Structure 1
Amino acid sequence: MSVVLRYGASNSLKLDFADQQVINSASINIESIDEILQDIVHTTLNHSIHFPAFREIVFPEDTLSIAVGEGIPQIAEILACIIDYIQTFTEVALEDITIVFPNAAAASSRDQLKELLDEFVFSTLTFEVHNPDTPEEMAYLTATEEGEPIRLNKRLVDSDVVLPICLNLPESILGYAGFFHDLFPLYTESETMVRFHSDDNTDILKRDSLEAANMLGVQYLIKVTPANGEEIHNITAGDIFTLQKSMPAIAKTIWSHSLSDSDLSIGTLEGSHQQQTWDQIARALNTLSECTMPGGSIVICSELSGSLPEPVKLLAGNNAQKQLAEQIKQHPDTNSQAAQQILQLRNEYRIYFLSNLSGDDVESIGLANIESPSQINNLITAAKKINCLGDAHRIAVN
């Protein structure tokens, strides 16, 4: 038998298996919406769940910030549909609308949005990229029960209306703070982001995230459940209390799987370069390790590119654990989560990496570089039990 796995923007690889091998696959062909996206977005905003239509909750002279979540499929198209809705059904002025991106990777969708909008409309909108390292761009909201400050992007705090667009994923994936993750910690400071990534107490993460959303006054948001890559399974908008009850079940149905341990697990990161980040690599590694027996092999297929971020570079040193701990303490960096995952797992598993990174860079951090997809089939030949996971960074293993 054979399985086709897609990775990156448009690549795929065919994996061949022998009859005696045990093969488990997960999230390879998820059902996606097939209607016109603009019709879906307009209908979603006009028929919100247990909440008035969006056009009834914004008024002339309101300042509106659209807070973009991380890894949202087709985000440029969704934003174009929302702007069209606002122009068609509301009196909010274009100059009062700010689209806020959480990081440079997400902000790269701005170029695509420019192609989708009228030139005047695009030039009238305001765009902002959240900078977690600039205190002046943060506003204090409250403190956690432990006394840690909760700060959030100042633009969001100062706006009359905030419309969050959030990804809907299982709450048990690595570093995920639950329902409001795409507000907090995504729009807080680096130090807090790193604290979230390194804290294993998910109840505390969810508690602090909920507190931040409450203090911001968020009552309404959009949840996007992804299918594979840049496809969308579901878009829902409405009252946060109702969606907190219904949306996690959808994410769990689509992205949570029971998988037994294999001696080889293969996972992909499908989608545009906005999906190809070190943070997503960390999540994929964590997921794959949870369904691979100790000493087994893990393969990640991606189109990750560019130079190694500073925390990841430290893995090439002889005293990586100490240096990484010092780096996190002195210079918090959101890529630290990936470095921590690689450091933890590279001694427990054989990790193979297919990417657009330099082979020398990959091998310098203790991973095996895959130059050609055909090499993966060589690994398959030696395995008895194999797990194949599409979009492994979105999957939670039960």
Structure 2
Amino acid sequence: MQISLSFGESQKFELELKDDKVVALCDGAGSTLSSVGEAVDAALTNPPQFPALADATVPGDLIAFAIGRHIPAVDEIIAAILQVVARPEMADRRMAIVLPHDAAKDLEAAVQQMIGERNDVTVERHDPDDRNKLAFIGATKENRPIMINRSLSDADMVVPVGLARLDSSLDYFGPYEAVFPTFTDRETMQRLSAPAFVEQPVLRKRRAGEATEVGHILGVLFGLQVEANGPESISAIRAGAIDQLSTQIQAELAKTWRYQPSKRAALAVVAISGGHYQQTWANFARALAVASAAADDNAAIMICCELSTHPSATMLQLAEHDDLDDQRRRIRRERTTDAVAALQLATTLDRNKIYLLSNLPEAIVDELNMAPVANLEEARKVCEYYDSCTFIAHGQLAEVAVEGEEISSDIDWDQYAL
């Protein structure tokens, strides 16, 4: 069988293996949306079972678009939003485009340029450390204070624009993720990035439920959900009441991104596709989690990527001690941005050998107790060595569940309704 697996910005891993060695080739991304602009236009002017944006608001209203993280073609989406809100039927309304705190600087500059001299639209990068730009809007059922970006709290209508992912994804907050914790304070972000929330399904559901609760308290009724066809392309943009959209979107995502090989393999090869902004330790962790579900115990995993970011101290401490159980206990107490990736790496190393094809120096890969793969020829030799292989494209978006194995992904969003 001929295998072709894209990774990084433009790399391709190609090889030929005997058919009986290939357990599965998981690369079934659907069609790409023909026009982002037309899809956004339809979502805002003719959404299903919801009034058009012009009918849902009145002159004098402030409409805040909360732009989520990791959205493909996000500049095209924002440009289309600005075109819709510039129409006569939207006259006398004010708009705010609120970007995440870690949005790329070139995206912020591009949006500023799109706005130009318009005085009815502002753009803002969220600052989780500036208390003057945060507002207290209430408390959760667990009596935790809710701090939200002030532009969102002051808005008459908040429209989250979020990336839809499978509920079982490693660090997914659910359909209200584009509001919370994306636009909360630093302390809350750090609390909800604790590895325990990712590692334990019960806590993961609680965290997603908290995001839903905050969305309801803020009064969010309507939103846009972006379905990715890949790390930098879109298959659909759906609009409507977020709670009602969730079930439908999960079913659509499962068709595209959930794979069920017939068995686990001796080697799971996972690609992280996309440019620089996709080559992150967070996506490395997602790819590892996906590969772990496809590989046998004591089998091997190979990640193909263009990761070049030097690992932080939390990651590098894995090299200082051989006791992985002790390392996991330590990491669970961390609140650093890559603690989840460190915990996923420690957990996977306890079960699988990990090969890494990346742009990192071999010495660093060695320090992290992984086996560096120098080039594509070495990657081919690794595949030829093992008796069975499963190949997974777009590992940061995919999900694998071997036939007969269940995924704990069902979240009862209704239990968090006010």
TM normalised by structure 2 equals 0.84
- In 2 relative to 1, CA 37–190 (structure 1 residues): closer, same or farther, beyond 3 Å? closer
Match of 2:148 in 1: 152
- One-letter amino acid matched to 1:212: V
Aligned partner (choices 204, 209, 231) of residue 211 of structure 2: 209
8 Å Cα contact 1:194-1:328 kept in structure 2:
no
Q: CA deviation at 1:327?
A: 6.7
Deviations 1:278-334 (A, max 9, x none): 2222111111101110111111122222222332232222277657755764x6223
- One-letter amino acid matched to 1:22: V
Runs of 4+ in 1 over 6 A off after TM superposition: none
Asked if 1:267 corresponds to 2:265, the answer is no
- One-letter amino acid matched to 2:308: S
Deviations 1:24-50 (A, max 9, x none): 01234432122x221221122111121
8 Å Cα contact 2:308-2:359 kept in structure 1:
yes
1:216-227 → structure 2 map (5 Å cutoff): 216-227=218-229
3-state SS, counterpart of residue 227 of structure 1: strand
Asked if 1:63 corresponds to 2:66, the answer is no
- One-letter amino acid matched to 2:339: S
3-state SS, counterpart of residue 278 of structure 2: coil
Q: CA deviation at 1:223?
A: 0.6
Match of 1:339 in 2: 342
Match of 2:367 in 1: 364
- One-letter amino acid matched to 2:271: T
8 Å Cα contact 1:48-1:239 kept in structure 2:
no
Q: CA deviation at 1:79?
A: 0.9
3-state SS, counterpart of residue 177 of structure 1: coil
Structure 2: tracts of 5 or more residues without a match: 402-418
- In 2 relative to 1, CA 326–387 (structure 1 residues): closer, same or farther, beyond 3 Å? closer
8 Å Cα contact 1:359-1:369 kept in structure 2:
yes
Match of 1:165 in 2: 161
Asked if 1:300 corresponds to 2:303, the answer is yes
Aligned partner (choices 107, 110, 114) of residue 108 of structure 2: 110
Asked if 1:128 corresponds to 2:129, the answer is no
Match of 1:288 in 2: 291
Deviations 1:249-302 (A, max 9, x none): 111111112122111111112123222222222111111101110111111122
Aligned partner (choices 361, 375, 378) of residue 378 of structure 2: 375
3-state SS, counterpart of residue 297 of structure 1: strand
Q: CA deviation at 1:120?
A: 3.8
Query: Size of the alignment, in residue pairs?
Result: 392
1:193-208 → structure 2 map (5 Å cutoff): 193-195=192-194, 196-201=197-202, 202-208=204-210
- One-letter amino acid matched to 2:235: H
Distance in 2 of aligned mates of 1:12 and 1:114: 36
Please tell me the root mean square deviation across aligned C-alpha atoms, in Å. Answer: 2.7
Distance in 1 of aligned mates of 2:5 and 2:283: 17
- In 2 relative to 1, CA 145–40 (structure 1 residues): closer, same or farther, beyond 3 Å? closer
Match of 1:23 in 2: 23
Match of 2:37 in 1: 38
Distance in 1 of aligned mates of 2:231 and 2:91: 35
TM normalised by structure 1 equals 0.88
Q: CA deviation at 1:92?
A: 5.5
Match of 2:99 in 1: 101
% identical aligned pairs:
25
